[in-house]
Amino acid sequence: MKATPSPDTGTTTFADLGLPDAVLRAIRTIGYESPSPIQAATIPALLQGEDVLGQAQTGTGKTAAFALPILSKLELKRHAPQALVLVPTRELAIQVSEAFQKYATGLHGFHVLPIYGGQSYVPQLNALKRGPQVVVGTPGRIIDHLERGTLSLEGIGMLVLDEADEMLAMGFADALEAILAQTPADKQVALFSATMAPNIRRIAQRHLDAPREIVIRGKTGTAANIRQSFWMVSGLHKLDALTRIVEVADFDAMLVFVRTKQSTVELAEKLQARGFAAAALNGDIPQAMREKTVDQLKKGRIDILVATDVAARGLDVERVTHVVNYDVPYDTESYVHRIGRTGRAGRSGEAILFIAPRERNLLRLIERATRQSIEPLQLPSVADVNSRRLAKFKARIGEALATPPAEFHRKAVQEVALETGADLLSIAAAIASMVEGHAPVHSGPPPAQPPSPSPEQAADTPSFEDDGRQVTYRLAVGHRQGAQPGSIVGAIANEARLQGSQINGVDIRADYTLVRLPANLPQATLARLSRVRIRGQQLDLQLDTGSRRPSSPRRGGGPATGPRLKRRPAR
């Protein structure tokens, strides 16, 4: 086997890897700036037609490492499976399929299909008839389609075994062998595993042809003086959540990380509009301007820097006390590098991660990589923000009183008092409103606050006093209908005019979902919620009586039906 050392990705670009223009345009659209180590080592080998044996942890960017070469080699006019990606779980099948779709922006005629157990065969059969070029599936459900004759692997030019060690640990060894036996002998194979145990080596020896071996060892562990926390986004307003944190946190300087260059500019401008000293830092900004921006951060002229990973590489500013991962990093190593920008020179630091419910697996991977527990963050309330801003304003007044006012200002106040008859307290309050604005001090709409209702919604939504009591409701949608926590919370919040804090305990089962809502919701609101549709299925809201035995999702899909090639574990 040919071993490839980890490349220096500091100077490598995606254009250096040999990717075609169409794929490079999609990468630029997404906002990727430079390849991760696994991408820089794997993409050229796969483009050159070599087999690859890659050792890398989940979260190192390996999906793009095999997806981009696959997209580069597809015949988009040929509507038949040309690449097969095998993964251990349904969650990963969906995640990898979504990544393919994102990387294929601008590739007209491209179709990717996730195939996994626990989902009806009908949509999968219909999608297979349309001829997807890429199939991403769990071993068990792929076998089922092979047995039914609904999937042919005759045209497969590339096969990827992703997280092979997990698939073997789940007992899919026979299924993998059965699938591999039905693929062309001259196919290209890429096998990725977190470990290189003997059983992985045996598969590589049997099914890979002189593979290029690539080992990416992630840098793990973080400084003990960095306190890590996360806020679960749940489809709420990240900008308003960040504003609350900025308003209340006792920080000196803050780094806010986003994924794309465009996002740095957009977010910096929004923070500036809210009165914060913020600036953007990305690879498109000329070097001289970047150096000037960092110098302003060091000198305290800028307090918040919105940056991409590449632009912040090597940044060392002692003032930085807080790092906010506004967008989840693509890999755990990037997260470690990001939060390492704080806690410098022995000082304590804060690292805050914004994460969506569907990204929970990344949270677990990050905890494993940093070897620290990441605690949930209690987002500051509007009252906290008001209290903090009032304290800051009073402090500014105290500082101003320490210096005798100019005679001009004293005379102006005296004349206003004489001319209007207003007392000095009213005049002082009027001056304060001129400085701070007339509205009560707060950071904008609460993050959990749904958008304002239309007149029709408002008229049809009786108000109610939430007494704090909650009851459990059963919704007639679950995993099989494609329900996601974000879609359920968003639908309920929008239709019932509820805040996120009033929607709790979302528990998605196979064909239904349990959720806790205020006990005294009006009947009109409950009736409208029942009519709401998610993925075409009405919620049909009912009080949960506990009469049905709870079901739980199974890894890799549900039980298979039909004849079997070999005995294999339930899916």
Quick one: pLDDT band at residue 446, thresholds 50, 70, 90? very low
Structure tokens, 185: 């002998």
Same domain, yes or no: 393 and 523: no
Quick one: pLDDT band at residue 570, thresholds 50, 70, 90? very low
Other CB atoms within a 10 A radius of the CB of residue 428 amount to 13
Same domain, yes or no: 313 and 328: yes
Quick one: pLDDT band at residue 499, thresholds 50, 70, 90? low
Same domain, yes or no: 412 and 284: no
**Residues β-bridged to residue 37:** none
Domain span including residue 317: 226-379
Note the pLDDT of residue 551.
42
Residue of 330, 341, 258, 335 whose CA lies nearest to 294: 341
Structure tokens, 521: 């919701």
Overall domain count for the chain: 4
Q: b/e string for 394-417 if b means 16 or more Cβ within 10 A?
A: eeeeeeeeeeeeeeeeeeeeeebe
**Which one has a higher pLDDT value, 469 or 550?**
469
Same domain, yes or no: 160 and 296: no
Same domain, yes or no: 423 and 501: no
Same domain, yes or no: 264 and 361: yes
Q: What stretch of H or E contains 350?
A: strand 349-355
Same domain, yes or no: 325 and 410: no
Same domain, yes or no: 261 and 275: yes
pLDDT in tens, 321-380: 999 999 988 777 778 888 888 876 567 889 999 988 877 778 888 888 787 888 888 888
Same domain, yes or no: 28 and 165: yes
Read off the CATH number of the domain in which 243 is found: 3.40.50.300
d(CA 284, CA 281): 8
> Which span out of 114-118, 387-391, 393-397, 494-498 was modeled with the highest average pLDDT?
114-118
User: Would residue 21 count as lying in a domain?
Assistant: yes
Q: Rounded mean pLDDT of the chain?
A: 80
Structure tokens, 234: 């749940």
User: Would residue 563 count as lying in a domain?
Assistant: no
Q: b/e string for 459-497 if b means 16 or more Cβ within 10 A?
A: eebeeeeeeeebebbbbbbbbbbebbbbebbbbbbebbb
Same domain, yes or no: 247 and 321: yes
Same domain, yes or no: 10 and 85: yes
Does residue 137 carry a pLDDT above 60? Answer: yes
Same domain, yes or no: 275 and 299: yes
d(CA 182, CA 177): 9
- E strands in 35-150: 52-55, 83-86, 112-115, 134-137
Domain termination site, one of 215, 241, 256: 215
User: Would residue 249 count as lying in a domain?
Assistant: yes
Give burial (CB, 10 Å; 0-12/13-18/19+) of 149.
Answer: exposed
